[in-house]
Amino acid sequence: MQRKKLEQQEQHSIELLDGQNCHPAIAIPRQAACDTLQSIIQAHFEKTLEKKRAVDAQKKELWRMFGIFFVFLAILFDGVARSSVIQCRHCWAPIGICLLATAIFYVGMAQTLKCINAFKYQRRCHKLTMGVATDKLRRITSSSMDLIREEEVEVRYQEPDDDYIGKFKRKWIMFTVFLALTLALLVSSFAQILCL
């Protein structure tokens, strides 16, 4: 048993030699490699939680902006509907106010969505990196080698594929279309109420 273990260690030491210049590659003890990978996993897990909290805070801000915007539009619409002074020739005033409010809301919404998408992208990167580190840790703990090559412990920062970014573009389009439809409905309602 001891002999077999010594042969495995010798074979592993031979594998650690760099074939081009015959210098030994850097090897670290298995426990140190496991500790390193566990600290990498912990760091990326904490970053994932941090990005999740940031996304939640930005979503709350977005819903707050939606609420303020629609309360403002409801007050404006109610004022126009109840007014007996505003006539068809004054229709440009509430429509202009509605356009201005929509433009301001769009800028705020765009900035908030940009932050949400950036946090989600970063969170996904940390999750992917954490997954790679977890796989490497699982392989190292299941191996019987006492020395681990340094390359087996290295974990590069992972990024998602381009399909993941397409998801953000679809959300952006959805919000923009929703806002455009809301604006069109309000403008046509103002014209309907004031000019008929």
Q: What's the pLDDT tens digit per position in 137-154?
A: 998 888 888 888 888 888
pLDDT at 22 over 60: no
Report the distance separating Cα 80 and Cα 78, nearest Å.
5
Output the domain CATH number for residue 181: 1.10.287
Overall number of domains in the chain: 1
Query: What pLDDT does 13 receive?
Result: 45
Return the minimum-mean-pLDDT range out of 26-30, 110-114, 174-178.
26-30
Report the distance separating Cα 10 and Cα 6, nearest Å.
6
Cα Rg of the chain, angstroms: 30
Q: Using a cut of 0.75, tell me whether the model's pTM lies above it.
A: no
Task: Name, in order, each residue with C-beta under 8 angstroms of 107's C-beta and a sequence gap of 6 or more.
Answer: none
Tell me the DSSP string of 91-131.
THHHHHHHHHHHHHHHHHHHHHHHHHHHHHHHHHHHHHHHH
Residue 26 or 23, more confident: 26
Range of the domain at 134: 2-195
The mean per-residue pLDDT over the stretch 79-100 comes to 82
Residue 56's pLDDT band, with cuts at 50, 70 and 90, is: very high
Report the distance separating Cα 78 and Cα 56, nearest Å.
33
Terminal CA-CA length for the chain: 97
Report the distance separating Cα 3 and Cα 9, nearest Å.
10
What is Dmax (Cα atoms) for the chain? 101
